[in-house]
Structure 1
Amino acid sequence: MNRSLSVVVFLIAIATLTCEGQRSPALPLSKNSFRQILRTKHAVPPGRVPRLSDIIIRHYSKNSTTPKSYRIRSISRILDDPDFDLRKPTVLYGHGYVELITDKNMVKIVKAYLQRDEQNLLILDWSNMAFGSYIAVVLGLKAIAAEVSKGVHALLLRGLSLEGLHLVGHSLGAHLMAYTARNLAAKGFQVPRLTGLDPAYPGFYPALLSDPMSSSDAGFVDAVHTDGGGFGAPDRTAHADFWPNEGRAKQPGCLSATVPLTTEDFCSHWRSVSFWAESVRGGEFLARRCYDYDAFLRGRCTDEPVVYMGARATHDLRGNFYLRTAASEPFALGERGAA
């Protein structure tokens, strides 16, 4: 048996193991299992072109069934939109590698913010630059961020509230938002809050391809880790780093055995998005600062106050914070998760 065939047989054997005790042995694959892998084979999504000028900001509001879209270089036009309220804070969300705004994660984020309707919601659709070789995409992040920061800077000059600006990014999008914040700081506009949802690991820790997001990138930087050491950052990268369920794979509810790089294998990495969306809707993810997850589970940090992970995290938080979550929605356990 040649090596390639041996690897396939091994993966199938591992994948058919019983998962989480209650599941029957089955191959954890679906019609979408290889979606992410297949997307890497395309230089650009259908209908898009791989140019900085084709980066799009999409504005979602309750008053429209579809988002209003603006090329990044004409983003100032959004201020003329009657549904864009300068009195509200503004969230700019950046997706990850080979993601589309129609993906389930993006739909979750949009629905959560629209349900609360407390902020202007802008989605950075940089999918035209996020497909193809991972290495090439990483090496292009800073050029993309330079373009995005020019657009945000134009909005700030025309009246967008800096105080209410919140940059949020998942995976590679976390580092992209960090670079955007750095560029804005260089122009005299320090972003008050930057959030990384399981910031991407490969190429950043250590900084072989590019430098990662850090606590110096914004007034307050927080990170939610769910696949640390896998697809997500293995170490602290923010003022406040949250490690639900130790912050590593496999997160509760994710299959314990998966075929590498399939959608099932990304379950833990994507769980950070689900946690964030639920927190935006009001889910109470309570955590405690602690030395490590083992000490947290042993109750050695119960003298520490409980704090919020997610949208309601406060800007004064510093350190590593731990909590437990449920295995399915709703994930938040309230005070039980911090016990």
Structure 2
Amino acid sequence: MLLNFNHIWKCSIVLIGFSHLTSAAKFRCYYTFTDFKEVPVDTPDELVTSGSPYVDIKKPTYFVAIGFNFLLNGPLLTNLVPTMLSLGDRNVCLVNWVNEAAAGMLGDQLGYTLHALPNSRTVGRAVGKAIKKLVDLGLLNDIHFVGHSLGAQLAGYAGREAIVKGIKLKEIIALDPARLGYQPPSFYHYVDSSCASLVYSVHCDVNGYGLNISTGHIDFWPNYANYISPTATRLQPGCQKGTTSQETLTNGNRCSHDRCWQFYNIALTNPSLFKGGKANNYYEWVSKSGNFKDTNFIGPLIDAQKPGQFFLVTGADSPWGLGDEGLKVPTTKAEQRHLVFGDILEPVVSSVLNLPIL
């Protein structure tokens, strides 16, 4: 009999809250995707003292961390790393914690709870110490951290540890930060605005694999209408309902969860596509009818001087982003039913906002 994933981590949290694990993670720094150098996180000195082509100490450095059960040759890294390298203005280094983030023989539920979850904290702290050491050895203190899912929570711990050691990361980009084990109350502290000079989050699988909490100075909520009521679709446009046991047990959707890194990857080379309008909540966003004083962008055009919550709509197909069109509430009845409200909240909200009841 399968147990609910949420109950498993709750029952195990006392044990893992006090675990003390050691990190065997590595930094993988790329010249090209297939030409890279790996060094242990605990002894990263060679990255900046050897004069190698893998790290230019005069350039900004972008660390990347992905989450539970990830693959080094999976779609996230094989897409995102080459895109980042193509920009040519940065060092790109993966936090390779593939062994620490794996389910292993424990299986998905226990492997996540008893292994990957505590390691997100342990490895994150080790990475924070390593970043401080690299900066002390001459690396430019212009550090960015892109984290997806559990990797976003790892980035939060790295940022906190770096602050303890006397430096502050310039930016953390938290792509659908993991919910399981981090949704309060918990022994684990989710990534938040205290972790770097700028923390911005993109939330794509709300209350599934991803948190339903504002976590950054800036938070983006693509297609939030799909998550706003118990009867909403709970899917990013273009995604289908998942059928794996992990998705069923956690209420998560892998396709929707992955949309966050896909949006970010596209935004790196198409920076105006993912434009959000500022509002205190989704209903206020709807009431503005596409007319916004403040807007902001996922990706390179993000404006750190415009904090807050930003909502947007995307398309169902790549490249997904709609630019200015993404600020507009869907207008057809079919679009409103699919993208705006669920059957329960629809009559109430429609009357408040003077929208038609479908």
Structure 2 distance, partners of 1:237, 1:208, is: 15
Q: Following TM superposition, by how much is the alpha carbon of 1:72 offset from its aligned partner in structure 2, in angstroms?
A: 1.4
Matched to 1:71, the amino acid is: P
Q: Following TM superposition, by how much is the alpha carbon of 1:262 offset from its aligned partner in structure 2, in angstroms?
A: 5.4
Q: What do residues 261-282 of structure 1 show as CA deviations (whole Å, max 9, x unaligned)? A: 2599311011101011111123
Q: Is 1:182 aligned to 2:160, yes or no?
A: yes
The 3 A distance-change label for structure 1 pair 257 and 140 is: closer
- Per the alignment, residue 36 of structure 2 pairs with 67
Correspondence list, 1:1-339, <5 A? 52=22, 54-62=24-32, 65-79=34-48, 80=50, 81-132=52-103, 133-136=111-114, 137-162=116-141, 164-246=142-224, 248=227, 249-256=234-241, 258-261=243-246, 265-284=253-272, 285-300=274-289, 302-339=291-328
Three-state SS of the structure 1 residue aligned to 2:44 is: helix
Matched to 2:31, the amino acid is: S
Three-state SS of the structure 1 residue aligned to 2:200 is: strand
Structure 2 distance, partners of 1:301, 1:187, is: 44
Q: Following TM superposition, by how much is the alpha carbon of 1:82 offset from its aligned partner in structure 2, in angstroms?
A: 2.8
Does the CA-based 8 Å contact 2:209-2:253 persist in structure 1?
no
Q: Following TM superposition, by how much is the alpha carbon of 1:194 offset from its aligned partner in structure 2, in angstroms?
A: 1.1
Three-state SS of the structure 2 residue aligned to 1:200 is: coil
Structure 1 distance, partners of 2:77, 2:185, is: 28
Structure 2 distance, partners of 1:191, 1:121, is: 15
Unaligned runs of 5+ in 1: 5-50
Structure 1 distance, partners of 2:35, 2:144, is: 22
Q: Following TM superposition, by how much is the alpha carbon of 1:300 offset from its aligned partner in structure 2, in angstroms?
A: 4.4
Does the CA-based 8 Å contact 1:174-1:199 persist in structure 2?
yes
Q: Following TM superposition, by how much is the alpha carbon of 1:54 offset from its aligned partner in structure 2, in angstroms?
A: 2.8
Three-state SS of the structure 2 residue aligned to 1:287 is: strand
Q: Following TM superposition, by how much is the alpha carbon of 1:209 offset from its aligned partner in structure 2, in angstroms?
A: 4.0
Q: Following TM superposition, by how much is the alpha carbon of 1:52 offset from its aligned partner in structure 2, in angstroms?
A: 4.1
Three-state SS of the structure 2 residue aligned to 1:113 is: helix
List structure 1 runs of 4+ shifted beyond 4 angstroms. Answer: none
Q: Following TM superposition, by how much is the alpha carbon of 1:74 offset from its aligned partner in structure 2, in angstroms?
A: 2.8
Does the CA-based 8 Å contact 1:138-1:209 persist in structure 2?
no
Normalization by structure 1: what TM-score?
Answer: 0.79
Matched to 1:261, the amino acid is: Q
Structure 2 distance, partners of 1:332, 1:114, is: 22
Q: What do residues 308-329 of structure 1 show as CA deviations (whole Å, max 9, x unaligned)? A: 1223312222111011112121
Matched to 1:296, the amino acid is: W
Unaligned runs of 5+ in 2: 3-20, 104-110, 228-233, 329-358
Q: What do residues 121-159 of structure 1 show as CA deviations (whole Å, max 9, x unaligned)? A: 001010111112111221233222222122211111011
Structure 1 distance, partners of 2:182, 2:296, is: 28
Does the CA-based 8 Å contact 2:280-2:308 persist in structure 1?
no
Structure 1 distance, partners of 2:282, 2:196, is: 27
Structure 2 distance, partners of 1:211, 1:314, is: 26
Q: Following TM superposition, by how much is the alpha carbon of 1:334 offset from its aligned partner in structure 2, in angstroms?
A: 1.4
Moved more, 250-259 or 318-327: 250-259
Matched to 1:168, the amino acid is: V
Structure 2 distance, partners of 1:170, 1:240, is: 16
- Per the alignment, residue 23 of structure 1 pairs with none
Q: Following TM superposition, by how much is the alpha carbon of 1:184 offset from its aligned partner in structure 2, in angstroms?
A: 0.6
Three-state SS of the structure 2 residue aligned to 1:54 is: coil
Does the CA-based 8 Å contact 1:59-1:67 persist in structure 2?
yes
Q: Following TM superposition, by how much is the alpha carbon of 1:287 offset from its aligned partner in structure 2, in angstroms?
A: 0.9
Q: Following TM superposition, by how much is the alpha carbon of 1:291 offset from its aligned partner in structure 2, in angstroms?
A: 2.8
Aligned residue-pair number:
290
Does the CA-based 8 Å contact 1:252-1:326 persist in structure 2?
yes
Matched to 1:322, the amino acid is: F
Normalization by structure 2: what TM-score?
Answer: 0.75
